[in-house]
């Protein structure tokens, strides 16, 4: 009896262990990318044109609200972030539009911030002149320079550009298309419809955001959030690549993130080497940086160099969005006619072509060039072969069934034995 | 004899009570105790803010922002997410909000339940969104779109609204909950590498890649041992149980011994 009890306990323990121990969790990708040498860079661009005198934010003038917000932002600035401040319409008092529209200066250069100096420079600003937003944006991009990381411009304005050309939205598109990753976040102070349209266009063209600020708290809170975001996200910059019109001369891509531009109805080809036993993973996002008709789609296909389609990823959508994405996985079928292994035990690389196409329809008046931003992610990992599951079972129901079957068999065997013994004894 | 019978009955009862407990799913996620609140959100796939299941998110944003978060998922889990958008200021018209979920390859994921795209009128002060995802599978064919372990992206945005409402402040609360501790699901197979996107900047190759030598595969004893929780283990345990039950059944038919 004691023995039996012990064996029951062992069995129960075994059962519990089986239930508790599952397969090990998927390995987490914890490789840390080395920190880039560059610090995050942000430039605040402040409109100091005549209209900033208006007293319509909590009974205070727009410029005083902006000044207070700037002071709070400078105080809360993270130490590693480099901040510059540029103003527009701050000095020229005359009526000459030509001169007034050149009026933009950098009052705090982009670099480690001297807090007292920056506050003093902001405190002396008085609302004065015209609103050359386009020129100020272009100059701000120059202030920030070029480099491997993303830069952020925060544009704070209350009135629409009075100096076009250059049209600020055109400038934003031109800056975005230059390949240096630049994000323009816009803040409208008590904005009207025209200002809102213009700022939305600038933000949309560069992948930035638009905020309507109607109080000091809103303004300073949002600028702080944007400056923090600049620090958190500035290292995520893809490599610029130019896709080809056909596969044979397409650029050959190693795993990583790339960015490109694709016009309406254009096809862009890329090539990726994939070895035997490897799996290709690719995803693409096409950004809607300009007004298009409400229904759209994106198609990512992987093909053989001879044009045979291997797999496709597709997505379509409707309505307001920022990007539309599709992705695919592909690995060579295991039982495919594999080429005879090369002498010396090598595995040759096979080239897979990737083609990105889109189904966007421009609205009347929408600019076709430069193309829409494309973000392409390529990865090559070990293939996951199909499981060849044994004809076995799993789960509590199976255990119960097997146990009941065993019990029944034992009972029948026992009864049969008794009957047989009884019959044999009688005869 | 009686002890044996009793323990067998207890075993059966335990099996019966365990099975439904594992299957039941709690529809609303709750924050895990001690989890720090995340107060950030990304604005693109590359800059998505990393969160984990059970970690509450509370962030201020502007109407019209596209907010991104990323969370890790394991095989066997079912994720539910709920989001609440609060409007501190009045709006001029009805708006439609949406929460989209994408896997590590930026493929759109289906919601099996939840208000994924609710519309609220101008008077509403908040809107609640929800999405329950499919159970994550441990393996799927490359050509399929089944949910697999790896990174998942959540995108919250407004898809339809009167243009003057763009840029107004909003407050967003988000919580992702996970059901099922992962592991033992009905599927076999394993993904060699989870769908975690490679987010490093790429390099354009200038030369055609050459054949590389095949690496010698290391074989060890552990390769031949079945994994814990695999069909081999379950079936073997079942066989042992059946044998014990058979002996018990046989013993039951014996005439009781007279003292």
- A100 and A162 share one domain: yes
- Under 8 Å between Cβ of B55 and B36: yes
User: What number is the average pLDDT over the span B69-97?
Assistant: 93
- A227 and A248 share one domain: no
ipTM of the complex as predicted = 0.82
- Under 8 Å between Cβ of A351 and A305: yes
Q: What is the pLDDT of residue A24?
A: 36
Tokens of A308: 């045979």
User: What number is the average pLDDT over the span A61-85?
Assistant: 87
- A364 and A222 share one domain: no
| pLDDT: which is higher, A336 or B138 | B138
Contact B189 A22 (CB under 8 A): no
At residue B15, the 3 state secondary structure works out as: helix
- A78 and A189 share one domain: yes
At residue B6, the 3 state secondary structure works out as: helix
- A296 and A163 share one domain: no
In a domain, A296, yes or no: yes
In a domain, A174, yes or no: yes
Pick from B49, B108, B244: CB nearest A11: B244
- A64 and A184 share one domain: yes
Q: Given A200, A216, A233, which residue is the final one in a domain?
A: A233
Kind and range of the H or E run holding A355: strand A349-358
In a domain, A180, yes or no: yes
With a cut of 70, say whether residue A389 has pLDDT above it. Answer: no
- A192 and A287 share one domain: no
- A191 and A206 share one domain: yes
- Closest by CA position to A204, among listed A218, A178, A227, A183: A183
- CATH label of the domain that carries residue A183: 3.40.50.410
Pick from B3, B44, B142: CB nearest A1: B3
Lowest-confidence segment of A80-84, A342-346, B131-135, B251-255 by average pLDDT:
A342-346
In a domain, A110, yes or no: yes
In a domain, A401, yes or no: no
At residue B79, the 3 state secondary structure works out as: strand
User: How many domains in chain A?
Assistant: 2
- A131 and A72 share one domain: yes
- A285 and A367 share one domain: yes
Q: What is the DSSP letter of A36?
A: P
In a domain, A83, yes or no: yes
- DSSP letter string, A249-290: TSPEE-SEEEEEEE-TT-EEEEEEEEETTEEEEEEEEEE--S
The CA distance from A382 to A387, in Å, is: 15
Q: What is the DSSP letter of A391?
A: S
- A148 and A215 share one domain: yes
User: What number is the average pLDDT over the span A344-364?
Assistant: 86
The domain made up of B31-179 is a member of CATH 2.60.120: yes
- CATH label of the domain that carries residue A359: 2.60.120.380
CA dihedral over A56, A61, A63, A64, signed as positive or negative:
negative
| pLDDT: which is higher, B59 or A55 | B59
Pick from B15, B197, B253: CB nearest A399: B15
pLDDT grade, residue B183 (50/70/90)? Answer: low
The CA distance from B127 to B136, in Å, is: 28
With a cut of 50, say whether residue B16 has pLDDT above it. Answer: no
Helix, strand, coil shares of chain A as percentages rounded to 5?
30, 30, 40
With a cut of 70, say whether residue B193 has pLDDT above it. Answer: yes
Q: B18, B52, B147, B253: which to substitute to probe chain A, counting the most A Cβ within 10 Å?
A: B253
User: What number is the average pLDDT over the span A84-111?
Assistant: 83
Lowest-confidence segment of A28-37, A348-357, A406-415, B152-161 by average pLDDT:
A28-37
Q: What is the pLDDT of residue A26?
A: 37
Per-residue CA distances from A209 to A44, A66, A69, A85, A221 (Å):
14, 18, 18, 19, 14
Residues of B in contact with A21 (CB under 8 A): 228-229
The CA distance from A133 to A188, in Å, is: 13
Chain B nearest-CA distance from A113, in A, is 24
Residues of B in contact with A275 (CB under 8 A): 212
Per-residue CA distances from A297 to A73, A265, A285, A360, B111 (Å):
41, 11, 11, 7, 20
User: What number is the average pLDDT over the span B32-59?
Assistant: 90
Residues of A in contact with B3 (CB under 8 A): 1, 4-5
Peptide bond just before A165 cis, omega within 30 deg: yes
Q: Domain limits at A120?
A: 41-233
- A210 and A245 share one domain: no
Domain ranges (residues) in chain B: 31-179
In a domain, A136, yes or no: yes
The CA distance from B195 to B193, in Å, is: 7
Q: Given A233, A250, A280, which residue is the final one in a domain?
A: A233
The CA distance from A25 to A27, in Å, is: 6
Q: Given A233, A254, A288, which residue is the final one in a domain?
A: A233
The CA distance from A158 to A190, in Å, is: 6
CA dihedral over B185, B189, B191, B192, signed as positive or negative:
positive
Kind and range of the H or E run holding A347: strand A346-347
pLDDT grade, residue A297 (50/70/90)? Answer: very high
| pLDDT: which is higher, B9 or A288 | A288
Chain B nearest-CA distance from A91, in A, is 30
The CA distance from A298 to A357, in Å, is: 6
**Percent of chain B whose pLDDT exceeds 90:** 52
Instruction: For the beta carbon of residue A418, count every other beta carbon within 10 angstroms.
Output: 13
Q: What is the pLDDT of residue A335?
A: 52
Q: B12, B73, B209: which to substitute to probe chain A, counting the most A Cβ within 10 Å?
A: B209
Residues of B in contact with A382 (CB under 8 A): 192-193
In a domain, A412, yes or no: no
The CA distance from A176 to B107, in Å, is: 26
């Amino acid at each position: 009896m004691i023995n039996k009890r012990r064996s029951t306990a062992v069995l129960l323990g075994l059962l519990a262990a089986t239930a508790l121990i599952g397969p090990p969790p998927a390995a987490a990708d914890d490789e840390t990318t080395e920190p880039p040498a560059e610090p995050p860079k942000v430039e605040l661009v402040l409109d100091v044109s005549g209209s900033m005198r208006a007293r319509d934010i909590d009974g205070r003038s727009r410029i005083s609200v902006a000044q207070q917000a700037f002071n709070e932002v400078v105080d809360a600035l993270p130490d590693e972030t480099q901040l510059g401040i540029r103003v527009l319409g701050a000095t020229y008092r005359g009526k000459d539009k030509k001169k007034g529209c050149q009026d933009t200066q950098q009052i705090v250069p982009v670099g480690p911030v001297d807090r007292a100096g920056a506050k003093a420079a902001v405190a002396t600003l008085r609302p004065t002149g015209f609103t050359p937003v386009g020129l100020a944006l272009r100059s701000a991009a120059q202030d920030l320079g070029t480099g491997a990381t993303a830069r952020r411009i925060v544009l704070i304005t209350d009135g629409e550009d009075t100096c076009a050309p250059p049209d600020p939205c055109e400038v934003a598109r031109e800056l975005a298309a230059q390949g240096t990753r630049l994000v323009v976040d816009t803040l409208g102070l008590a904005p009207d419809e025209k200002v809102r349209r213009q700022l939305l266009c600038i933000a949309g063209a560069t992948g930035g955001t638009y905020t309507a600020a109607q109080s000091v708290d809103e303004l300073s809170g949002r600028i702080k959030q944007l400056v923090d975001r600049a620090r958190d996200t500035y290292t995520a910059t893809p490599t610029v690549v130019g896709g080809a019109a056909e596969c044979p001369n397409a650029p050959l891509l190693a795993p990583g993130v790339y960015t490109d531009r694709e016009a309406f109805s254009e096809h862009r080809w890329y090539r990726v080497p994939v070895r035997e036993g490897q799996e290709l993973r690719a995803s693409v996002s096409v950004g809607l940086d300009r007004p298009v008709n409400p229904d759209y789609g994106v198609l990512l296909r992987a093909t053989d160099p001879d044009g045979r389609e291997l797999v496709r990823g597709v997505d379509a959508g409707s309505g307001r969005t920022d990007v539309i994405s599709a992705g695919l996985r592909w690995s060579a079928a295991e039982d495919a006619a594999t080429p005879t292994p090369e002498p010396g035990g090598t595995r040759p690389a096979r080239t897979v072509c990737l083609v990105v196409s889109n189904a966007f329809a421009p609205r009347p008046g929408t600019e076709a060039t430069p193309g829409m931003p494309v973000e392409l992610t390529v990865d090559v990992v070990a293939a996951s072969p199909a499981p060849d599951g044994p004809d076995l079972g799993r789960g509590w129901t199976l255990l119960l069934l097997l146990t009941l079957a065993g019990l029944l068999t034992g009972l029948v065997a026992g009864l049969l034995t008794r009957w047989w013994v009884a019959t044999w004894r009688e005869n | 004899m009686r002890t044996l019978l009793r323990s067998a009955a207890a075993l059966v009862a335990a099996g019966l009570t365990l099975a439904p407990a594992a299957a039941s799913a709690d529809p609303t996620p709750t924050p895990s105790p001690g989890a720090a609140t995340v107060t950030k959100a990304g604005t693109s796939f590359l800059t998505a803010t990393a969160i984990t299941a059970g970690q509450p998110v509370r962030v201020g944003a502007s109407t019209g922002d596209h907010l991104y978060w990323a969370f890790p998922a394991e095989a066997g889990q079912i994720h539910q997410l709920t989001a609440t958008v609060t409007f501190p200021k009045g709006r001029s018209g009805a708006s439609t909000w949406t929460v989209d979920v994408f896997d590590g390859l930026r493929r759109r994921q289906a919601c099996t339940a939840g208000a994924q795209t609710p519309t609220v009128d101008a008077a509403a002060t908040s809107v609640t969104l929800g999405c329950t995802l499919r159970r994550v599978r441990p393996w799927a064919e490359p050509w399929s779109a089944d949910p697999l372990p790896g990174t998942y992206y959540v995108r919250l945005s407004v898809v339809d609204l009167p243009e003057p409402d763009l840029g107004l402040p909003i407050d967003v609360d988000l919580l992702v909950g996970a059901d099922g501790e992962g592991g033992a699901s009905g599927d076999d197979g394993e993904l060699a590498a989870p769908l975690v996107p490679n987010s490093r900047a790429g390099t354009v190759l200038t030369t055609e890649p050459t054949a590389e030598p095949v690496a010698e595969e290391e074989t060890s004893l552990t390769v031949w041992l079945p994994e814990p929780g695999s069909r081999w283990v379950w079936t073997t345990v079942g066989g042992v149980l059946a044998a014990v039950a058979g002996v018990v059944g046989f013993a039951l038919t014996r005439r009781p011994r007279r003292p």
